[in-house]
Amino acid sequence: MKLGHWSLSQPLGNGYGRVAAVKRGRGVILASLITIDDLSNEDILAILDDAELLLPAAKGEVYLPLLQGKLLGNLFFEPSTRTRMSFEAAMKRLGGDVINLGDVSSSSVVKGETLYDTIRMVDGYVDIIAMRHPRQGAAQYASDSAEVPILNGGDGAGHHPTQTLLDLFTIRQAHGTIEGLNVALVGDLRFGRTVHSLSHALVRFGCSLTLISPDSLRMPSEIIDDLQALGATITQSENLKAAVPDADVIYMTRIQKERFPDEDEYQRVAGIFKLSAADLAPSKGGMIVMHPLPRVDEVAPDVDTTVHARYFEQAFNGVVTRMALICRLLGVAVPQNAGTNGGES
């Protein structure tokens, strides 16, 4: 039986891209963020450092209008709560503004407008675009078609690099480093774009990965090959409980129901991993449980009150890391005193 989820049949366009990866929109050299490999390790660390400086502004403790006069276009062709809202919060906390595509069903997409035409048009309205699309590769396509930077907020089962930045920020906050940790990635590693992007970054920082999924939802072999080519230590398993004692981070994910071609196939794996507070008893004291959210039933509510839970902080960190990222792509320097007298209170 086919799932009743909404799927987008929007044509991409005529296949002609106008602009290469490095852009020169509005006089500044700009690039898009399509995969986490668009950023070097040094770039990532610089963004995390800027994000830390911006914490008081993200919390509204200081007003720092670094992005005054700048406009972000939120183009979400797939449902989103955190990613879309945190992009909006990031812009507005820094004095910038946002326009939204809004509900796809009330946009010209339903009239058959191609992604190419939508992007070419919004490109003229804004300084930067955050985009989510159900088709893998759509963000790269958009970037090839636009002059302003495109921030990939998720392309189908492909990549989700801005999520990776907030994930890394959260890990560094808890452990003081993102290097050399043992990280268990759990759940739907086949369709889950957050873990596709995060695994690349973690391996580049020398982390060891335990990939825990049912056999049918294993990390795609091309990704495993890439990670191994980077020298990664990878263990694949179906046993979540066995991974708890050695883990520094347990990163839970939702089974991506909307990406299954078939309801029966989904039902065979639904609810397969459930983490409860009792399961965490053998863990290291500093171990953190993360989840990109939304959760279904894979993390029990009793985990929320343990010292390990970090998913709500993680969601907040989406604001501060997206602030830092937008500043960087728009060529706006984050002042060292951003958290004190850098802003007006």
Which residues are catalytic, by number? Answer: 82-83, 111, 132, 160
**Which of the 8 DSSP states describes residue 268?**
H
Instruction: Write the burial class of residue 108 (CB in 10 Å: 0-12 exposed, 13-18 middle, 19+ buried).
Output: middle
Residue from 140, 178, 134 nearest 37 by CA: 140
Shorter beta-carbon distance to ligand NCD: residue 182 or 194: 194
Shortest Å distance, C-beta 187 to ligand NCD: 9
Q: Are 135 and 78 in contact (CB under 8 A)?
A: no
d(CA 86, CA 72): 12
Q: Are 146 and 90 in contact (CB under 8 A)?
A: no
Residue from 69, 194, 85, 196 nearest 130 by CA: 85
Shorter beta-carbon distance to ligand NCD: residue 117 or 313: 313
Work out the angle at residue 204's Cα, subtended by the Cα atoms of residues 167 and 336, and round it to the nearest 5 degrees: 60
**Residue 77 tokens, joined:** 């062709």
d(CA 61, CA 95): 14
- Chain residues binding ligand NCD by CB under 6 A are 82-83, 154, 160, 163, 193-194, 253-254, 292-293
d(CA 82, CA 86): 6
Shorter beta-carbon distance to ligand NCD: residue 121 or 296: 296
**Residue 87 tokens, joined:** 């992009």
What 3-state class would DSSP assign to 320? Answer: helix
Q: Are 133 and 8 in contact (CB under 8 A)?
A: yes
Other C-beta atoms closer than 10 Å to the C-beta of 68 total 11
Shortest Å distance, C-beta 178 to ligand NCD: 19
Q: Are 115 and 89 in contact (CB under 8 A)?
A: no
d(CA 98, CA 74): 7
Shortest Å distance, C-beta 285 to ligand NCD: 27
